[in-house]
A = this chain, B = another copy of it.
Amino acid sequence: MATAINVKLGERSYPIHIGQGVPLAGELDAGTRVMLVSDSNVDALHGEACARQLSGHGLEVVRAVIPAGEATKSLQWVEFLYAKAAEAGLDRSCAMAALGGGMTGDLVGFVAATYLRGVRFVQIPTSLLAMVDSSVGGKTGINLPQGKNLVGAFYQPVEVNADLVLLATLPRREYISGLAEVVKYGVIWDASFFHFLEKHPAELLDRNPELLEKVVARCCEIKAEVVAMDERELGPRAILNFGHTLGHALEKVDGYGRWLHGEAVAIGMNYAARLSVVTHGFKPADADRIVRLMERLELPVRPVGAPLDWRLLREAMMLDKKTLKKRPRFVLAKQLGGVVTGCEVDEPILAEAWTACCNKEPS
């Protein structure tokens, strides 16, 4: 009752196991010392049970708990985990496991990539977003006061274990936020998957277990395929950033924490869809379908509350890893399931699309 997907990266290949009750660190030999890290929320819900399972498999578990919230994805908490590991005397034969969402996986992955110049890393995602996106592909990193994910490493885990049982305790808002990345895979890669999602919004919102295994597995398959083409994001992998150029800027301008990542990406996808209509012949009807699907999944598609200053948002798009020589680049759609990367867009169009995006009327 579990699905296994292989991320094909030569000697850095690894399996993703998806199912109800999958083993949480099956690749590690008995006797391995493993630092199990979770945030305070996840630790309260699943820390003890996870540690017990790992101990039961003969692993020697050192637990570390970090504060919940994006603010923890900082150099300060990297330093905290380095100290924990060094004080526990963890050597190169040890492993580190991230039990949690994207924040925990990104942070612990970076610590694992750099502690003793790299120790083995296990992803145990507990959020939908982490299961379908951040736990797969080896992007690890932290935020700086100057911007999100400005520091990090490409560092592959030795295994990803997505136990769908853990999704039951995920707060509804966080679960829904993860659905934004699910929709993204349909838009960038697989129109029939997009149609499939359009047919099952209610089951998706209900976290139907059979549907979830299918959906998470398909997302991981797509991500694995994209990552295998371009591990270090030199080219095609950038398609995964559909909706993210504006999404990241939004998170930055509005302060980390106001928007969940998936929510910001959902708004960014609305924006990218509108840019795509104007510049890449993307059908307005398909842009509307993206927006409608996200609305049916209860995702935000435009900012709420006080209007955001466009100039601030525009400026925030400058310092982004995808910004080559200070010009923002976008991933834009030509059709459902087909996108192009590295698109530069004229300034007036950027501003008009933002106005359209903030407007409730369909384009």
Contact = CB atoms under 8 A, between A and B. Distances in A.
A328 to B, nearest CB: 11
Contact of A91 (B79, B93, B145, B326): B326
Contacts of A212: none
A193 interface: no
A321 B118 CA distance: 11
A321 B93 CA distance: 10
Interface in A283-299: none
Interface of A: 75, 78-79, 82-83, 86-87, 89, 91-93, 110, 113-118, 139, 141, 144-147, 150-154, 232-233, 318-319, 321, 323-326
A326 B86 CA distance: 12
B139 A117 contact: yes
Number of identical monomers bound together in the oligomeric complex = 2
Contact of A150 (B75, B82, B153, B325): B82
Closest CB pairs A-B (n = 10): A86-B146, A117-B152, A116-B321, A114-B151, A75-B79, A91-B323, A86-B150, A86-B144, A117-B154, A82-B144
A318 B89 contact: yes
Contacts of A87: 146
Nearest to A326: B89
Contact of A118 (B114, B145, B154): B154
Interface of A is mostly: mixed
7 contacts: A75-B82, A91-B321, A92-B324, A110-B114, A116-B150, A117-B141, A117-B152
A309 to B, nearest CB: 20
B154 A324 contact: no
Contacts of A79: 75
A112 to B, nearest CB: 11
A86 B319 contact: yes
Contacts of A75: 75, 78-79, 82
A144 B79 CA distance: 9
A83 B145 contact: yes
A31 B31 CA distance: 53
A151 B118 contact: no
A116 B114 CA distance: 15
Contacts of A82: 75, 144, 150-151
A154 B119 CA distance: 12
A117 B153 contact: yes
A93 B322 CA distance: 10
Contact of A144 (B83, B89, B139, B152): B83
A66 B340 CA distance: 42
